[in-house]
Amino acid sequence: MNDADDSSGDVEMRSRTIHRDDVSFNVRAGGTYDRFWERVNSGSWEPQTFRVLRDHLKPEETMLDIGAWIGPTVLYGAMCAGEVIAIEPDPVAHSELMANLALNPKAQANTTVVNACLAPETGQVSLYSGGFHHSGESLFGDSMSSLYASGEAGGQNKVEVNALSISDLESQQDLSRLGFVKMDIEGGEYLLLTTMGEFLRRHRPTLFISFHLPPAEHRNERIQETFEFLCETFPHIYTAKGQPVPLREVLAMGPDWSTMAPDSPAEMTMTVARAGLIATF
C-alpha cells in the first residue's frame, strides 16, 4: 500500500478549512495531501485556475470537470456553479475526492462524481501511474495518472478503468445547462478533445484546458492536430490571464513542436498552454 492509499483508508481523519477568494470548503487533514492543501490555502497553487473559475462560473450553469483529482476545482466550483459533473478515473484520487465532498454538504449536493475517464470510445482502458512523466516515485493519486504510458520506464503500474465517450456521458448526465468545461488530464487531452467537436459546438461552453508536453517523438502530430482543432472549433482563444493567443498565426508558421527552441513561437505558445488556455464561442 502506498502513502496515497493511506490517506483514503478507513482511519478517521481530521478536517481543515480551505479559503480561496471568498470561497471556503473543508478537506481531510493529517494525510498525504496536507502540503498540497496548504498551497491551495496560501494561494500558491495554480492561482490562474481559480481566477478563471471565479470569472467564468455562473450559478445557473453546469460545470463539467474532466480530471477532478482530489477535488480542488470541484469543491471551489460547486460553491459557484449551479452543478458540477466531476470525472475522475484514478481509484486513489476518486476515494479522496469522495471523502472531501462528504465534508461539504452543499458541494456534495451540487456534485455528481463519475468514476471513469472520458475517452474516444466507451469501454475499458488502461490508466498509468505517472503517465508519460512516470518515475520511480509515481503513485496513483498523485495527479499524474494518464491514459498515456511513459514508454520508457519499465514496471509502470497500471489499472483498468471504465471509459465513457462524450456522447455516452451526455446520455447518462443532464448537461442541458452546461456552461463551463475544465479539462486537465495529463496528456489525455490529445486523445479526447478532437472527439468532442459536435458536443462543444452544440453546447457552446467556455473551455479551460491545461496542456501537457508529450515526449518529443510524439509532439508534432499530437500538438499540431489538437491546436488546429481548437482554432477550427472556437472563435476566441485566450491565456489563463485573459490575453488573446495568436494561435492561428503560430500554426501558419509551421512550428516545430518537437524541439521548441527557446523564445520560439512554439515554445512561447506551449508555455501559456501548459498554464491553461481559455476557448470561447
pLDDT in tens, 193-214: 999 999 999 999 999 999 999 8
CA dist., res. 143 & res. 184, Å (int): 10
Residue 151: pLDDT above 80?
A: no
The answer to whether residue 35 is domain-embedded is no
The answer to whether residue 19 is domain-embedded is no
Range of the domain at 135: 3-9+45-280
Give the CATH number, domain containing residue 119: 3.40.50.150
The answer to whether residue 253 is domain-embedded is yes
The answer to whether residue 65 is domain-embedded is yes
The answer to whether residue 15 is domain-embedded is no
Mean pLDDT of the chain: 93
Q: Which three cell numbers stand for residue 246?
A: 495568436
Please name which of 192, 195, 133, 129 lies closest in space to residue 161, comparing C-alpha atoms: 129
The answer to whether residue 198 is domain-embedded is yes
The answer to whether residue 152 is domain-embedded is yes
The answer to whether residue 139 is domain-embedded is yes
pLDDT in tens, 63-118: 999 999 999 999 999 999 999 999 999 999 999 999 999 999 999 999 999 999 99
Q: What domain count does the chain have?
A: 1
